[in-house]
Amino acid sequence: MSNPFFSSFNTPFQTIPFDKISMEHYLPSFEEGIKQGLADIQAIVENTAAPNFVNTIEALEKAGSLLDLVSNTFFNLNSCETSKEMQALAKVISPKLSDYANDIMLNMGLFKKVEIVFNHQSSLDLNTEQITLLDKTYKSFVRNGSKLNDSQKEKLRAIDKETSQLSLTFSENVLEESNAYELVITDLENLAGLPEGVVEAAKITAKEKGKENAWVFTLDYPSYGPFITYSENRELKEQLFKAYGSKAFKNNNHDNQQVLKQIAVLRHERALLLGYQSHADFVLEERMAESPTKVFSFLENLLDNALPFAKKELEELKSYINLNNGPEDIKKWDLPFYAEKLKKEKFAIDDELLRPYFKLENVIDGVFETAKKLYGLSFIQRNDIPLYHKDVTTYEVKNAQGEFLAVFYADFFPRAGKRQGAWMTSFINQKMDNGINVRPHVSIVCNFTKPTDSKPSLLSFDEVTTLFHEFGHALHGMCANGQYGSMTGTSVYWDFVELPSQILENWCYEKECLDLFAKHYLTGEAIPADYIQKIVDSSNFQSGLATIRQIGLATLDMAWHSQNPSCISNVKEFEIQVTSKTDLMPSVPETCTACSFSHIFSGGYSSGYYSYKWAEVIDADAFEAFKEKGIFNQEVSSSFYKNILSAGGSEHPSILYKRFRGRDADPKALLRRSGLI
């Protein structure tokens, strides 16, 4: 069988022919991609013409196009449709890619040409986007070792290769532990308190796993979340809570304690080698926050505002538990159950009341309609685009002028080969190629509540906001309209990338938006106005506790990466020490967050988890602009589209944001929205 990667794709919009790609095609494609990429680099180095922006910087930007395509395909599928064979192959490929990246970044002939162009940029007639690319390219070389001596470069190569392998191992261990656990229930009494749809889903899971007369709950959040929230069986909730919190923390073959310590130590060694005090210093140099000092200050200020509210909320919950004859010795696994009851008592609302109004297909229609009203986009389902799994749905996206804008893949349900959580990614980035505007192929991947035999997929309100969040990222990718693929779409500073996603969540709380899609799945009745008011009224329920939880995770991330981690001997003890201010309940000995903290140890968020809260400040401020003039106001939405969604990383994010808002973001906007002032 011929290798599909070695010829043009004969598919709609040149989409990836997943149905034609076999595992045997990947390694030869990677090897050929590396070969072609290095040949592209060599051509730049051997060019006898004087180095200039076109023959050096733009040529470098275009190098290795085959490898980019193969890498995007393989590693996206390794996250959402993996297998033992694919995981084994990833371990073979990753060191090759590390070597390839270093062969480019440590190529002195290439760097000298880049440096010449960089040093002479004042004499070049470059536009803003070209200046940004030149600056980014030069810094990339310096930040990846181009100024090191030969022995230091070899050490850097070894560090990068080992780190890439360890990150894969970390991710695989978390997936293995997640897939290995099952809570099997055979007694009906142990289902007490669980909503009908949750019980039915557990029965389907049991059937899929070959278990008759049983109900199976897993660590996938659509299974775990409802059980921990609604089950009346405290003992089983404890078991499930500990299983969820102890992923890769069991001193077994899938334990991540030594893995994450090695990753952190290697990152620190790399930073020192490049002249930085820590990995956080290295990372934050290219972030809006700029330094660990600023991040810690940001988190501490937020904590000062949120902690009094969080303590008050916890005391209120504990009093409620006592008044309702709850356990005297309150544990972490008790809190979601009673918090949900308290919320229902205070606001007469809960997820099960709302679920019937959030049929997945309706929510998808709703987010599409929101994009249409804001930006004029339309989504046409296509059945002729190859899929990597039968659960995936594809759409052709058109802009306000009816022109082709993007291909959109939607992948919503959990399965064994898919990691937990929700994310957006791209198979093909937008760019200009020989005068042709190459449009992006964008995907969102989630793990939502599955349909059952009697009910369609009915989302919790949290799942609705998750869909809007990831779709916001997708809009950032789909609306990209820049020159260079390395700077379009979501290729922006990591503490800015969450703005398009987090701002879109705000529409979920607006009646004008909910009326577009929130209709009862059986009757078609629109969601009652008083339900919408209850969603708004309850939106800040326990916002203090939610805020300090995020601060705790961000602080844990910074603690691992802003100092020398080689002196950390006990992962669990270190975690307790670091999160002492934000963890208001006694730590559970069997659990350890860091061991399954994929965001920072395998997902690219190292020294960057704070960015969720950082971007919340910006998104709260940005949404106030919409609220001032109307949530579908065309003047505001057009400005957001032009200056944020389509601009990508063409300029520094603070410049882009000021162009949209007319000023810097007001730090108090988040506190106002969260009810923390």
- Percentages of the chain per state (helix, strand, coil), in multiples of 5: 60, 5, 35
- Could you tell me if 554 and 616 are in contact, meaning their C-beta atoms sit under 8 angstroms apart? no
Residue 467 contacts residue 637 (beta carbons within 8 Å): no
Answer yes or no: 470 catalytic: yes
Where helices occur in 524-569 by DSSP H, the ranges are 529-537, 543-561
| 253 three-state secondary structure | coil
Pairing mode, strands 441-445 and 404-411:
parallel
Which residue from 171, 255, 516, 567 is spatially nearest to 367, judged by alpha carbons?
Answer: 516
Residue pair 233/192 in contact by the 8 Å Cβ criterion: yes
DSSP helix/strand/coil, 591: coil
DSSP 57: I
Phi-psi domain of 530 (left: phi exceeds 0; alpha: psi -120 through 50; beta: other): alpha
3 state SS of 47: coil
**Which residue bears the tokens 């100024």?**
147
Q: Give me 66's structure tokens.
A: 């085959």
Of 270, 279, 93, 249, the closest CA to residue 168 belongs to: 93
Side chain identity at 65, as an amino acid letter? S
The DSSP H or E segment spanning 410 is: strand 404-411
Instruction: Give me the catalytic one of 61, 463, 470, 505.
Output: 470
Q: What is the rounded distance in angstroms from the CA atom of residue 219 to the CA atom of residue 418?
A: 12
DSSP 411: E
**DSSP category for residue 5:** G
Calculate helix-pair angle for 196-208, 221-230, nearest 10 degrees: 140
Dist CA 262 CA 252 (whole Å): 17
* DSSP conformation class of 416: T
DSSP conformation letters of 442-490: EEEE--PPPP-SSS--B--HHHHHHHHHHHHHHHHHHT---S-GGGSTT
Write down the H helix ranges in 47-149.
59-62, 65-80, 84-105, 108-119, 128-143
| Cα(114)–Cα(134) distance, integer angstroms | 8
Residue 162 vs residues 181, 271, 424: alpha-carbon distances, Å: 29, 15, 27
- Looking from the CA of 359 toward its CB, the CA atoms found within 13 Å total 18
Contact 383, 484 (CB under 8 A): no
* Residue with token string 């802009």: 399
Question: Could you tell me whether strands 404-411 and 423-428 are parallel, antiparallel, or unpaired per DSSP bridges?
Answer: unpaired
Whether the Cβ atoms of residue 16 and residue 441 lie closer than 8 Å to each other: yes
Residues facing 378 on adjacent strands: 398
Contact 117, 54 (CB under 8 A): no
Residue corresponding to tokens 């759409």: 395
- Looking only at Cα atoms, what is the longest distance across the chain? 83
Active site residues: 470
